[in-house]
Amino acid sequence: MTTQAPETKVVDKYRIACDGGEGALGHPRVWLQIPEETGFVECGYCDAKYVHRDFVGKV
């Protein structure tokens, strides 16, 4: 059995919400802050990676 790689999403804001994106099968909504130094953050629940559009191709 193989494990899927976590999803990477490109976003326009430095503060975003993640709820797992699967309705009732997701996770509690959490607010994540993307550090302006790194340009990305990972959700602690679902491991989704959020990359700010200014950092696409740099991280």
Report if residue 26 sits inside a domain: yes
Report if residue 1 sits inside a domain: no
Range of the domain at 40: 8-55
Q: How far from 57 is each of 31, 39, 51, 53, CA to CA, in Å?
A: 24, 11, 10, 9
DSSP classification of residue 15: E
**pLDDT for position 58:** 87
Contact at 8 Å (CB) between 57 and 17?
Answer: no
pLDDT tens sequence across 2-59: 666 678 999 999 999 999 987 778 899 999 999 999 999 999 999 999 999 999 988 8
Report if residue 3 sits inside a domain: no
Q: pTM value? A: 0.85
